[in-house]
Amino acid sequence: MTNIFVRILKKVLGDDYHLIHAHNIQSVDGWFYSSLNRQYELANVNSAPFGTFYEFGTGGGVNLIKFLSTLKIFCKKNNLQISDYRIFLFDTFEGLPKTDLVEDKHIQWEEGGIAFSIEKLKKILTDAGINLNDLNIRFIKGNFSDSLTPELRDE
């Protein structure tokens, strides 16, 4: 799955594709902060773009809430506007797809499982104290292999 994801990103993003590696991270929040910091450092020396987050499979927003909370802290510390950071959320918002792949055979994997509509996800984020009006956020419905397009790169 990772190799397919990387190939799709490289195809769509072209020269703008960058992988940020964070080493010795002990938490998701720490990883997010370290990645934001490294991306910002690279942008300051014109080595990489800064300001875009792609999430593929948002589910109930657990990691998204951690990222947005970390982004808020990072932006405040670095005198940045959180609304300048673009956030793209790719999901079917209909739950897990049907699969016959052996690697997907798991007791918790069932068709339609982990289904959260866009409206439900927005409520979860709002209930977690996230002000959606402060964000430059896009909810992109569909399979990312179809919805991650070159046109998004140009936005």
How far apart, in whole angstroms, are the C-alpha atoms of residue 138 and residue 98? 26
Q: Once rounded to an integer, what is the mean pLDDT over residues 10-29?
A: 48
pLDDT at 130: 94
pLDDT at 124: 96
> What percentage of the chain exceeds 90 in pLDDT?
37
Number of independent structural domains in the chain: 1
How far apart, in whole angstroms, are the C-alpha atoms of residue 15 and residue 30? 27
pLDDT tens digit sequence for 101-141: 777 777 677 777 788 999 999 999 999 999 999 999 999 99
Q: Are 121 and 58 in contact (CB under 8 A)?
A: yes
pLDDT at 24: 34
Whether 148 has a pLDDT exceeding 90, the answer reads no
Partner residues linked to 136 by β-bridges? 86
Whether 86 has a pLDDT exceeding 60, the answer reads yes
pLDDT tens digit sequence for 34-72: 888 888 888 887 766 678 888 998 989 999 999 999 999
Q: Could you tell me which residue, 151 or 14, shows the higher pLDDT?
A: 151
- Domain holding 78, by residue range, is 2-153
pLDDT at 1: 43
Query: Would you call 90 exposed, middle or buried from its count of C-beta atoms within 10 A (0-12, 13-18, 19+)?
Result: buried
pLDDT at 33: 80
pLDDT at 43: 82
How far apart, in whole angstroms, are the C-alpha atoms of residue 88 and residue 141? 10
Q: Could you tell me which residue, 154 or 2, shows the higher pLDDT?
A: 154
Positive or negative torsion for Cα 103, 90, 10, 29 = negative
